[in-house]
Amino acid sequence: MNQNLTAERPTFVTHLECSLTGQCYDADTLHGLSEAGRPLLVRYDLDAVAANLPRPMLDARPTDLWRWRELLPVRRTANVVSLGEIETPLVAIPVSGGANVLVKDEGRLPTGSFKARGLVMAVAMAKELGVTRIAMPTNGNAGAALAAYATRVGIETIVFCPEDTPEVNVREIALQGARVWRVNGLIDDCGAIVGKGAAEGRWFDFSTLKEPYRIEGKKTMGLELAAQFGWKLPDAIFYPTGGGTGLIGMWKAFDELEAMGWIGAERPRMYAVQASGCAPIVKAFEAGQEHAERWEDAHTVAAGIRVPKAVGDFLILRAVRASGGKAVAVGDPAILQAVDDAARHDGLLLCPEGGATLAAYREAVKIGEVDPGETVVLFNCATGLKYPMPAAPRTLDRHQPIDFDAL
């Protein structure tokens, strides 16, 4: 256990580690990617965590994200930032999904998406390590979460998004204090601008997996699932995969919990869900490759998973393969149908990326990949309220005779 701590918030971080080479880095120094150009992973003294965190102590805490503080990197209480990150519920969708399908509804988090998990941790650590200006590319929700948390701690923020980013996201980012620029390209084109500015020393690059701490926030999804399932895990998880931080984070969480003796060695089959119009991870998985080539002409209604090239591609693929899962792609019509079905039949408004997981699950059941009797978790990564909905044009003139039978 690191002794450079306050008694108020003990942390157990030992070092950072290159995800490709295993090279170690100082945990109390600001880092981006490793020397090998790959993501850095936070490592903990897990024996010390287990000795200092009896499970009854955890169970007695409020069920928010910060209940997991011994497994999180923030060392000083003064650097914790929060907008009320709750434990998100598991919602049954028996009609559109099936009797054993649960949706982890991440739209209940601050700024309406699971991006809050990663960005609250990354911003807290940016504050702790003295960062004063941040830039990031986004397809929408990540930029909104960054703007909210960075504004709250006084960090200047510049966000670049594709020009077709949903208007509600762009306005949300701007209203919450960031300077937001629309770019005539895709998210990796935006990322290239961020990288160039970072190389010139203009800002710190907050792109997905280019700093070590977004994974740590996202891994709380896996920690929560273990607790919600009574320290067992579901049979399968369907996760909407663009940059894949959450899938990587959950896999890391499961390993850490096993090392602490809180769960066994069994793992869910991890399904990395992409859209057929942007499926670089699926292509690499099917080809048996460890790295994915950039997907050209990327397009899908599920903008959050429209990521042509992911820096953590090999980590996603390793987790999927180790779990016995798959990388799968679904078309936009199936995505939109799944969103419509969940709303009309189960009353749950999914975002398009969440709809993709339901569409992928349905296809997996159809081809016998998943048994309907298995317990499955689908991730709805954002509130459906942020996305376009079908028109509802019916009107009623109260001054005319009303045909109540027609109503």
Q: Which residues of the chain have pLDDT under 70?
A: 1-10
3-state secondary structure of 105: strand
**Contact call for residues 62 and 85 (beta carbons, < 8 A):** no
Residue-level pLDDT at 9: 57
Using CB atoms within 10 Å of the CB of residue 389, give its burial: 0 to 12 exposed, 13 to 18 middle, 19+ buried. exposed
**Contact call for residues 186 and 162 (beta carbons, < 8 A):** yes
Instruction: Using alpha carbons, select from 136, 193, 191, 139 the residue that is nearest to residue 163.
Output: 139
Residue-level pLDDT at 99: 97
Residue-level pLDDT at 26: 96
> CA dist 231 to 135, 223, 257, Å?
38, 9, 9
Distance separating alpha carbons of residues 205 and 201, to the nearest angstrom: 10
User: What angle, 0 to 180 degrees and rounded to 10, lies between the N-to-C axes of helices 141-153 and 115-128?
Assistant: 30
Q: How many CB atoms lie within 10 A of CB 318?
A: 15
3-state secondary structure of 215: helix
- Is 3.40.1710.10 the CATH number for 115-205? no
- Is 3.30.390.30 the CATH number for 90-112+213-385? no
Instruction: Using alpha carbons, select from 378, 354, 356, 384 the residue that is nearest to residue 91.
Output: 378
Residue-level pLDDT at 11: 79
Distance separating alpha carbons of residues 347 and 362, to the nearest angstrom: 18
Strand ranges of the sheet holding 13-18, from the earlier edge strand across to the other edge: 24-25, 13-18, 40-44
Distance separating alpha carbons of residues 379 and 217, to the nearest angstrom: 16
> What pTM did the predictor assign?
0.93
Amino acid of residue 395: T
> CA dist 152 to 124, 125, 127, 196, Å?
10, 14, 11, 26
First to last CA, the chain: 67
Would 90-112+213-385 and 115-205 be classified into the same CATH topology?
A: yes
**Contact call for residues 316 and 249 (beta carbons, < 8 A):** no
Residue-level pLDDT at 3: 36
Q: Where are the domains of the chain?
A: 13-72, 90-112+213-385, 115-205
